């Protein structure tokens, strides 16, 4: 396995486009910045007045990077026209350099969700749709490889965060999905809706949230949806990163860290047993193997830390990881050498 790198020009263009999208988001600051402390973390809000009523809009966790951008909000707002022209040019560069673009249906959905605030409010794109976006983060080519192709789009968020934020999406995802010709698929027992199926194709959209034992459907108030709870998902979506989906001039989304994605895929692959899940399990292992190979060369410390973290979480975690690695001797050797 020899991953091919994107050109230096393509990698620089991607990082520039990501930076400009983050600048664009910060430029939308309306009022003053309000800080709120929760569980040892600081969250920033845009506090502004509409008529006689005060409003708060969640901006993100109070990282040094976000604070620095918000401090330049007025300057960034004044640069809007030039920035958007540059964003369009950089998107053209990426297409010319061979970046996989998002198909129209997926791009339209991601753009609508981004505008509604799904990613701003903690939503994280997961699954193969997220895997395909590592072409930019890691600077590697996927071309039209099967491992990066999917008709399904999965989103995940922490229930605790969704409850604590005290903010909500500007347009309900269910209404967006209906407008894009997706039909709700109620659960068989409680009739709660956490997934939608495209009525003119096979595409499926699902909302997920971490479980800590009981895998039931839970509400995500900030996103205005319900979500299927899954064990091990908390590991995947901790500390997500921004990424650009190449649609129009780019769509700013949020995806898992690649090292966490790789290790989580080892776990998920072992959970899928029999029937149609066998093909998905092979795909999980293929994605894990590819990312492990790339990360071992470019980000070995990140990969080592994620692997050690997962192994430390208990015997069931270790059993699932080891079962997948037994089928991936090359990946097993890479990870053992890093330990």
* pLDDT score at 326: 95
Domain assignment present for residue 195? The answer is: no
Among the listed residues 87, 185, 196, the one whose alpha carbon sits nearest the alpha carbon of residue 152: 196
What is the rounded distance in angstroms from the CA atom of residue 98 to the CA atom of residue 7?
A: 9
Domain assignment present for residue 60? The answer is: no
What is the rounded distance in angstroms from the CA atom of residue 337 to the CA atom of residue 10?
A: 31
* pLDDT score at 171: 86
Domain assignment present for residue 139? The answer is: no
| Confidence category of residue 3, pLDDT binned at 50, 70, 90 | confident
Structural domain including 338 reads 257-339
Domain assignment present for residue 264? The answer is: yes
What is the rounded distance in angstroms from the CA atom of residue 164 to the CA atom of residue 38?
A: 8
* pLDDT score at 274: 63
What is the rounded distance in angstroms from the CA atom of residue 51 to the CA atom of residue 45?
A: 19
Compute how many other C-beta atoms are within 10 angstroms of the C-beta atom of residue 74: 10
Domains in the chain: how many in total?
1
Domain assignment present for residue 108? The answer is: no
Domain assignment present for residue 338? The answer is: yes
Domain assignment present for residue 27? The answer is: no
Domain assignment present for residue 278? The answer is: yes
Chain-centre distance for alpha carbon 286? 19
What is the rounded distance in angstroms from the CA atom of residue 56 to the CA atom of residue 94?
A: 36
DSSP of 298-313, one letter per residue?
H-HHHHHHHHHHHHTT
Which stretch of DSSP H or E encloses residue 168? Answer: none
What are the tens digits of pLDDT across the range 207-247?
999 998 888 898 888 888 899 999 999 999 999 999 999 99
């Amino acid at each position: 396995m020899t991953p091919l790198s994107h050109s230096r020009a393509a990698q620089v263009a991607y990082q520039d486009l990501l930076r400009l999208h983050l600048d664009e988001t910060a430029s939308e600051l309306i009022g003053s910045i309000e800080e709120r402390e929760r569980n040892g973390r600081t969250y920033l809000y845009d506090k502004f007045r509409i008529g006689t009523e005060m409003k708060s809009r969640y901006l993100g966790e109070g990282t040094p990077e976000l604070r620095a951008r918000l401090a330049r909000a007025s300057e960034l707002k004044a640069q809007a026209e030039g920035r958007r022209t540059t964003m369009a040019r950089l998107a053209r560069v990426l297409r010319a350099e061979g970046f996989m673009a998002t198909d129209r249906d997926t791009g339209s959905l991601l753009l609508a969700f981004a505008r509604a605030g799904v990613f701003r409010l903690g939503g994280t794109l997961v699954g193969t749709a997220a895997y395909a976006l590592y072409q930019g983060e890691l600077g590697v080519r996927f071309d039209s490889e099967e491992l990066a192709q999917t008709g399904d789009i999965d989103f995940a968020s922490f229930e605790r965060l969704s409850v604590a934020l005290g903010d909500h999406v500007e347009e309900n995802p269910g209404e967006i999905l209906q407008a894009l010709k997706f039909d709700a698929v109620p659960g068989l027992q409680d009739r709660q809706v956490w997934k939608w199926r495209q009525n003119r194709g096979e595409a499926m959209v699902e909302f997920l949230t971490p479980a800590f034992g009981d895998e039931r459907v839970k509400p995500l108030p900030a996103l205005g949806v319900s979500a299927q709870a899954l064990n091990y998902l908390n590991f995947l979506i901790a500390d997500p990163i921004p990424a650009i989906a190449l649609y129009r001039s780019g769509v700013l989304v949020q995806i898992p860290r690649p090292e966490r994605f790789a290790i989580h895929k080892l776990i998920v692959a072992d959970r899928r047993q029999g029937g149609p899940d066998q093909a998905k399990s092979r795909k999980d292992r293929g994605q894990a193997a590819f990312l492990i190979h790339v990360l071992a060369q470019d980000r070995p410390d990140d990969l080592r830390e994620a692997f050690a973290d997962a192994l430390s979480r208990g015997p069931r975690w270790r059993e699932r990881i080891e079962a997948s690695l037994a089928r991936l001797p090359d990946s097993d050797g890479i990870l053992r050498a890093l330990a």
